[in-house]
Structure 1
Amino acid sequence: MKVKLLSSVTALLLTTQIHAASAAPTPSYMMPLAEKAVLTDLIRVNDQLFVAVGDRGHVLVSKDSSHWTQIQTPVQSLFTSVYFSDDKHGWAVGHDATIIATQDGGQSWQLQQFKPETDKPLFDILFADANNGIALGAYGMFYRTTDGGKSWSDEFHLELVGTEEQEYLKELQETDPEAYLDERSSVLPHFNRIYQHNNVLYIIGEAGFFATSSDFGKSWTRHPQFYNGSLFGLAMTAKNTLIAAGLRGNVFRSTDLGQSWQEVQHGQSSTLNSVLTDADTIYLTGNAGTLLVSQDDGVSFTSVPTQDSKAILNAVAVKDQLVLVTEAGIRTLAIKKPE
């Protein structure tokens, strides 16, 4: 979850074993210590269902966020993201442009897409309901489904390309259609995260890429770059403030829905992987065991000690603790709520 930095997850996993792509998928191995392996994302589906995903096709489920059970999947691809539209319907995406799905709350998973020939990972997935979803990833990969993932169609949105490149592509499409298709497959930056708030979709990615859509991704507005590095995490706070975080610990805050951004200084330089909002608290998770907390709507952040220096890829808040997915598996950390 490559020839250059695609995401913080990718950078971390360059030090782990990545299975070579094959023509046919191989089911994941059932491992006795799967909850201690590299895990990259997790979701709280409801109070009695938590799902985590990670390396080697690992999917783990839990009823209480403390005891985890591995579920076999159809592939050994590294999963990078998991999403549920309701208590039963969920999807996970990852390397080899892989998409798997469940219709029974994570108890079994079916393969919907596997394209090792692309040699590209998907980084995130989002569904509006049980039928309509978007998956995206490296080099602007963008897939859409309207039937719950029974079929996925590849989309290219010219409006997401820079102005100069747009003109070049239009000319190339007329003069050399084959070269146009080749160029189209690499002209866009990596899409690292897709996020929805109300009826607006947000995409962040490589080189400060930031775009929004108000029609579930049928059309997009690409906004001016406010940072020249990669962004990996984005979330809206309870006070409608957008928080974006990414490479080298950079954090940005917007109080006008992304029209303008202010950099937030906090003294940490580790790459930040995710943004979690819980009531009036914001958590940023990152490499080297980095955990930053804000209780003033992202105006300032305080560093919180964690167990070790293992990279934290994501987290969910459960009562008085954070459940973390890390490069060393699932960890829990007690948190103090404000009085």
Structure 2
Amino acid sequence: MNKTIAACIAATFAVNYSMTVHAEESFTAPLVEQSVLLDIDADKFVVIVGERGHVLTSEDGSDFKQQSVPTQSTLTATTVVGNNIWAVGHDAVILHSSDKGNTWKVQNYQPELQRPFLDVLFFDDQQGIATGAYGLFYRTLDGGNTWTAERHASLLDPMDQEYLEEIRKEDEAFYQQELESILPHLNRITLDGDTLYLAGEAGLLAKSDNMGASWERYYVDYTGSFFDIKPLDENTVLAVGLRGNIFVNRNQGEWEYVNTCSTSTLNSILLSTESKVYALGNNGMMVAAERPLPTSMRDPYATITDCESDDGIVVSQIKDKAALLNATQFNGKTIAVTANGIKTLNLK
């Protein structure tokens, strides 16, 4: 992987903030394992994050311990690299632990931005990025000791890019102001080999081959939000999002629609086996699809009553109908985080 970060097309500027004022320490919640939990990641251990600064860790995927962290801001995403954990969330907070969650440090805290981070990803223990609402995009090259904010105009719709370039010819300051105001939410980032994938608001799907320094936006015949994107193999990429929409791209061709006859928003993708993939969503919905995924013509006016799902699609619902936010497989189990806490999924 090329470790040189190319100059961004968008503006780049250093982040300055005071660490003298930061959020309060988290508090121990007796029912933390049943609280709203938003993300999970695992390597040799499991990390879960959620509302009110809740962070839980487990060595075996069964017994979880709540960790004391220096924030009560809701944490939306986490990532693990070796013994390092990064967690991000509301108030533009970024937390780091170098010892599996036993101790924590605030690396960023900017409530005045009024923008949450929604995802975080590290390429190694030094280089990483955090993304979020309204185009929020921060990068670190030193393990998070310093973070730099970037704006990426290449993530915008081509018509918006054209509009901005016309403004830029006349007024650079106004260009920067407009760019910041119309950038979409950046919901999820996924790394596969040397390729970085991004899913976001208003039909945004994009990829980068230089660690996110520049982006190539996909064209998708859909303007709703996407919440996850993952490659299934070297030729296939899957994306899921609002109102149960699933799209698949094969061999860098057009994005095709996968009809599930379910309208529950899909929050994340779980790669179960080489033959099956799951999409997890609101109302406790799980969409199982056999690979290769079937596709059909998308009819935005179709109703559920006259809908027939594509072959190999099975839609099920967990008992308490709690929103499924994300899941991972660890120690022979599928562990999910939901609006009602931690659950073990039975994938058939």
Give the TM-score category using the shorter length: 0.7 to 0.9
> Would the aligned equivalents of 1:190 and 1:205 in 2 still touch at CA under 8 Å?
yes
Find the counterpart in structure 2 of residue 276 from structure 1.
270
Q: 1:170 to 1:294 in 2, by over 3 A?
A: closer
Cα distance between partner residues in 1 of 2:268 and 2:231: 12
TM-score by length of 1: 0.86
d(CA) in 1 for partners of 2:347, 2:189? 27
Report if aligned partners of 2:224, 2:242 keep a CA contact under 8 Å in 1.
yes
**Are 1:246 and 2:258 an aligned pair?**
no
Uncovered stretches (5+) of structure 2, i.e. residues with no partner: 1-20, 295-311
Equivalent of residue 96 in structure 1, options 91, 112, 116: 91
Equivalent residue number for residue 62 of structure 2: 66
Give me the whole-angstrom Cα distance separating, in 2, the residues matched to 1:328 and 1:45.
24
The Cα of 1:55 is off from its aligned counterpart by 0.4
Identity %: 40
Q: What are the superposed Cα offsets for residues 217-276 of structure 1, whole Å, 9 maximum, x if unpaired?
A: 11111222332110001112256421110000001111224x421111112110000001
User: In 1, Cα distance between the equivalents of 2:173 and 2:249?
Assistant: 41
Residue aligning to 2:144: 149
2:220/2:254 contact within 8 Å kept:
no
Distance change >3 Å, CA 319–CA 104, structure 1 → 2: closer
What TM-score does the superposition give when structure 2 sets the normalisation length? 0.84
Q: Structure 1: how far apart are the matches of 2:248 and 2:331?
A: 26
Question: In the alignment, is residue 45 of structure 1 matched against residue 40 of structure 2?
Answer: no
Q: From the superposition, tell whether residues 147 and 320 of structure 1 become closer, same or farther in structure 2 (CA, over 3 Å).
A: closer
| 1:33 equivalent in structure 2 | 31
- Distance apart, 1:207 and its partner CA: 1.0
Separation of aligned partners in 2, 1:163 and 1:253: 21
Partner SS for 1:43: strand
Please give the residue correspondences for 1:128-207 in structure 2 after superposition, counting only pairs within 5 Å: 128-173=123-168, 175-207=170-202
Q: Deviations over 1:132-175 (max 9, x none)?
A: 11111111111111001000001112322333433443444454
Task: Tell me the equivalent position of 1:15.
Answer: none
Change in CA separation of 1:282 and 1:315 when aligned onto 2, cut-off 3 Å:
same
Q: Compute the displacement of 1:75 (Å).
A: 0.8
Aligned partner of 1:231 in structure 2 is 226
2-structure distance, mates of 1:324, 1:222? 30
| Aligned residue-pair number | 310
Q: Which residue, out of 99, 106, 112, partners 2:107?
A: 112
Question: Which one has a bigger Cα radius of gyration?
Answer: 2
Which residue does 2:305 correspond to in 1?
A: none
Shift of 1:188: 1.1
RMSD: 1.8
Deviating more after overlay: 162-171 vs 146-155 = 162-171
Letter in 2 for 1:212: K
Q: CA deviation at 1:279?
A: 2.8
